[in-house]
Structure 1
Amino acid sequence: MNLVDLRIFACVARHPSLGAAAQELHLTPSAVSKALRRLEGDLDTVLFDRSAKQLVLNASGQRMLDFSKSMLTLADQAKADIMGNRAVIECKVAAPAILLWRHAPVLMRAMQAYPDASLSMQTMFEDEALAALLRGEVNHAIVTSEVIEGRGAHWSSDWQVTSLGDMHLQLVAGKRHRLAISLSSGLTAASANELTRAALPQPALRASSSQILAYDFVSPSRSLFCGEQRGSRSDGWRDDQLPRKIRYWIDDLQLLLSTVKSGQALAYLPEFALADAELLRIEVSDCAFHCHEQVWLVSNAKNAPHWQHALAEFMSATSKDTA
């Protein structure tokens, strides 16, 4: 029994067909089949129920999959820890696009300590990200508190969670939006010059609820975190308190941002969207609610190599520094 055959076996176990596994492994189906036969020969046990179109793990195969995951994890941990920052690391992180948008720069900085490392950021809704972590397909998942507190089907007692701070949502407008132009004209020249000399970002524009509700909004129809269809509740705005006219429903994050920056509509977005110079924050003077989400990094702590713990510590410390 060798590690190469174990990796091939673990890959085949999570795919619907031998051909799909072979494609991921960059091997021929014949080579994959030979590796499986070799492993079964070493164990003197059949691991799959075979049909014309697919392989299905039998009871022995399921037990062997559990063993193989532990053995492969220990082997990877030993190699990474012994090699230190010379290790050839493949860091895989799964998260909703909106959370990757927020944390991608920090992830990239964290992996700079490993010159031969690669970083794969995979866009998935929260439950999908946790399921991928449970299957061992990724090293980390980034999710919000709602999923942490729920701890549903895709949860393991081996996991640890690391706080990545709070994410606050803000009413945002593009600089070309009519309301933004109108409110910006109210800033005095003296105030603008003072901000420029101090190298400070432009302050929030202030408006009343009656002013902002006169304009169209854009919103996703489903949560950008969990993917659930929530209609007007999808972005966290309280339409029961301040009912809006949502003219545009857009689930694609980039298209939604383009719509806001073009000045077509207002949107309720995480505060880090304001790093875009084309966007402005609008503070609603008579708005009684504030929406925020706590963000967490979920990692499999069992037999995890040092670099995974170091990444979690770096991201936690960085989120506190920037809070």
Structure 2
Amino acid sequence: MPLNLADLRVFCSAARQPTLGAAALELHLTPSAVSKALRRLEGDMGAPLFDRSGKQLLLNDSGRLLLARARALLALAEQARLDVMGERGAIACRIAGPALLLWRHADALAAALDAYPQASVHLQPAFEDAALAALARGDCHAALVTQEAVAQRGADWPASWQCTALGSMRMLLAAGRAHALARGVPAASASVPCRLQDVLPHAFASPTHSLLCGEERGRHADGWRGAAGRTIRYWSDDAQLLLGYVQSGRALAYLPDFAVRAHGLLQLELAGSVDCSEQVLLVWDGALAGQWLREMARQLPLASTIASN
């Protein structure tokens, strides 16, 4: 008996969600409809796919075997439909990655899909490992990560995954125009030379966890490569809050270059530069990618370059 794609979608949601009710909420169905679809699929497969414990559904060995194939079948069916529809396709593009990288490339992602007027872009904030795991599960079409995150996967990297280079993101020491170190600097100046001994007496703002991988790193979470003697007075894992402390003149912070430019901040150029650079990649599965995703991957590097200028 041929498998029902609608039942496979229900199955994948039930495998992802903690309870049948959560799967029903995600699918906009009643719990009864979800239960019936799962029973129907189990009948078609000739074996139970879950171990049921109260309201919880736990995948058994048969369910885990089906899950990978079900995700691939659904992805191929969706890509076939969109390829046939072409520019008329109602694409729901899902990109996962750290909020910092989504912020950096949001405009470029939108521009890369301009040829598809019915498309929507869903940005899913997730640290790098979680974003790559979401790609592996089929919960997103692509992941935005750094080269370092890719290198750390090593032999675990799927052979079908492809990487599109989107350029680099530099971390810069930044001050707001109201900060004491910005006094006397012309408004038209984007940067100013500065000595380390002039910087260290001032308060800094910093995250406690890496904004890319989520790892707790304390005083080095922002990637600062300068002297350890700085005073961090303001702590937040929200980049927008860090930016606010800098804009107000309360603190200095190590921020990505695109944020420094976009908000008219002043770059403090230290001798023996403390700048560091991260290479950004779009990761996608070449075995499951439809024409629209391949086209987006082709156009995105150019769109990212334009957006950074």
Instruction: Specify the SS of the correspondent of 1:148.
Output: helix
The CA distance in 2 between the partners of 1:41 and 1:203, in whole Å, is 66
Report which of the two structures shows the higher radius of gyration computed on alpha carbons.
Answer: 1
The CA distance in 2 between the partners of 1:210 and 1:44, in whole Å, is 73
The CA distance in 1 between the partners of 2:25 and 2:125, in whole Å, is 21
Instruction: Specify the SS of the correspondent of 2:183.
Output: helix
Q: Could you list the runs of 5+ residues in structure 2 that have no partner in the other structure?
A: none
1:50 is aligned to 52
1:269 is aligned to 255
Q: Mean Cα displacement is larger for which, 275-284 or 49-58?
A: 275-284
The CA distance in 2 between the partners of 1:5 and 1:244, in whole Å, is 57
What does residue range 98-113 of structure 1 map to in structure 2 within 5 Å? 98-113=100-115
> Quick one: which amino acid aligns to residue 229 of structure 2?
P
Asked if 1:259 corresponds to 2:261, the answer is: no
Quote how far apart the aligned CAs of 1:40 are: 1.6
Q: Which residue, 110, 117, 120 being the options, matches 2:119?
A: 117
Q: TM-score, normalised by structure 1?
A: 0.89
Say whether the 8 Å CA contact 1:131–1:154 is kept in structure 2. Answer: no
Say whether the 8 Å CA contact 1:127–1:154 is kept in structure 2. Answer: no
> Quick one: which amino acid aligns to residue 173 of structure 1?
A
The CA distance in 1 between the partners of 2:42 and 2:180, in whole Å, is 69
Say whether the 8 Å CA contact 1:134–1:155 is kept in structure 2. Answer: no
Structure-2 change in CA distance of 1:34 and 1:165 (3 Å):
same
2:214 is aligned to 227
Q: Could you list the runs of 5+ residues in structure 1 that have no partner in the other structure?
A: 193-200
Q: Which residue, 272, 296, 308 being the options, matches 1:311?
A: 296
The CA distance in 1 between the partners of 2:288 and 2:102, in whole Å, is 25
Instruction: Specify the SS of the correspondent of 2:215.
Output: coil
Q: Which residue, 32, 35, 38 being the options, matches 2:34?
A: 32
> Quick one: which amino acid aligns to residue 113 of structure 1?
A
Instruction: Specify the SS of the correspondent of 1:115.
Output: coil
RMSD: 1.8
Q: TM-score, normalised by structure 2?
A: 0.93
> Quick one: which amino acid aligns to residue 86 of structure 2?
G
The CA distance in 2 between the partners of 1:108 and 1:237, in whole Å, is 31
Paired residues in the alignment total 306
Q: Deviations over 1:3-58 (max 9, x none)?
A: 11111111111111111111100100000011111112222222112222211122
Q: Which residue, 156, 175, 178 being the options, matches 2:177?
A: 175
> Quick one: which amino acid aligns to residue 299 of structure 1?
W
What does residue range 146-225 of structure 1 map to in structure 2 within 5 Å? 146-151=148-153, 155-182=157-184, 184=185, 187=186, 202-225=189-212
Say whether the 8 Å CA contact 1:134–1:154 is kept in structure 2. Answer: no
Q: Mean Cα displacement is larger for which, 152-161 or 33-42?
A: 152-161
> Quick one: which amino acid aligns to residue 166 of structure 2?
L
The CA distance in 2 between the partners of 1:46 and 1:153, in whole Å, is 33
The CA distance in 2 between the partners of 1:292 and 1:302, in whole Å, is 31
Instruction: Specify the SS of the correspondent of 2:95.
Output: strand
Q: Deviations over 1:187-234 (max 9, x none)?
A: 4xxxx7xxxxxxxx6331222112112211111111110011111211
Quote how far apart the aligned CAs of 1:130 are: 0.9
Taking every aligned residue pair, what percent have the same amino acid on both sides?
51
Quote how far apart the aligned CAs of 1:152 are: 6.0
Say whether the 8 Å CA contact 1:92–1:140 is kept in structure 2. Answer: yes
Quote how far apart the aligned CAs of 1:303 are: 2.4
The CA distance in 2 between the partners of 1:128 and 1:66, in whole Å, is 18
Following TM superposition, the consecutive aligned residue runs of length 4 or more in structure 1 with deviations greater than 6 angstroms are none
